[in-house]
């Protein structure tokens, strides 16, 4: 068993924010769930090691894509794009949409034993929270993506977790959509 952290091309993860909702045919959606609150209509798409959050407020749409940069992300309608190495935060008010958007991501690479322990802890979390999730295997082993959503006041909170065995890669995000 390898006990040292590894680096891998998966450190090319990126967050892409769109001023419109991307079409589903661009993605291999493995699970989906919706949530309505405070006039916002949120749809979450879970992909292997990635996710799309599509939100509608009135006539305005916004979407967040977190994906391995080695995968193709649509480039039409991009408002913001950034690589996700370590910790990264982005915040913007979309006045015309009447929405405030806050996004935070943390990425890390773990040794094999810590990765496996984290994977087991996430499985427990998924059972306790009834999280939207998808499991698969890659060339190195078991992988997992999960999403949790909560309603607070005029806000929707979304947490995502992506654990990819190749590289011992873990990405955790928190996104807040606030209706103004």
Quickly state the pLDDT bin for 150 (edges 50, 70, 90).
Answer: very high
**Mean pLDDT score across all residues of the chain:** 90
Residue 154, pLDDT above cutoff 90 = yes
Residue 2, pLDDT above cutoff 70 = no
Q: How far apart are CA 81 and CA 65, in angstroms?
A: 9
Q: What is the pLDDT at residue 72?
A: 76
Q: Which of 141, 179, 135 is nearest to 161 (CA)?
A: 135
Residue 6, pLDDT above cutoff 70 = no
pTM to 2 decimal places: 0.90
Sorted by sequence, the CB contacts under 8 Å of residue 120 that are 6+ apart come out as none
Q: What is the pLDDT of residues 106-136, one digit of tens each?
A: 999 999 999 999 999 999 999 999 999 999 9
Q: What is the pLDDT of residues 70-101, one digit of tens each?
A: 777 888 899 999 888 889 899 999 998 899 99
Residue 7, pLDDT above cutoff 80 = no
Q: Which of 142, 174, 176 is nearest to 161 (CA)?
A: 174
Q: What is the pLDDT at residue 11?
A: 55
Q: What is the pLDDT at residue 73?
A: 83
Sorted by sequence, the CB contacts under 8 Å of residue 86 that are 6+ apart come out as 106, 107, 108
Q: What is the pLDDT of residues 129-148, one digit of tens each?
A: 999 999 999 999 999 999 99
């Amino acid at each position: 068993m390898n006990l040292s952290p590894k680096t891998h091309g998966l450190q090319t993860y990126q967050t892409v924010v769109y001023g419109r909702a991307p079409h589903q045919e661009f993605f291999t959606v493995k699970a989906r769930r919706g949530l309505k609150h405070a006039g916002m209509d949120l749809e979450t798409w879970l992909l292997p090691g990635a996710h799309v959050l599509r939100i509608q407020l009135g006539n305005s749409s916004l979407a967040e894509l977190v994906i391995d940069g080695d995968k193709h992300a649509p480039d039409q309608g991009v408002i913001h794009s950034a690589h996700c190495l370590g910790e990264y935060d982005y915040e913007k008010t979309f006045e015309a949409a009447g929405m405030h958007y806050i996004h935070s991501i943390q990425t890390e690479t773990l040794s094999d034993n810590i990765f496996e322990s984290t994977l087991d802890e996430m499985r427990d979390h998924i059972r306790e929270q009834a999280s939207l999730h998808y499991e698969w295997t890659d060339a190195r082993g078991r992988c997992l993506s999960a999403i949790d959503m909560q309603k607070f006041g005029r806000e929707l909170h979304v947490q995502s977790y992506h654990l990819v065995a190749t590289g011992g890669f873990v990405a955790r995000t928190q996104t807040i959509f606030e209706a103004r």
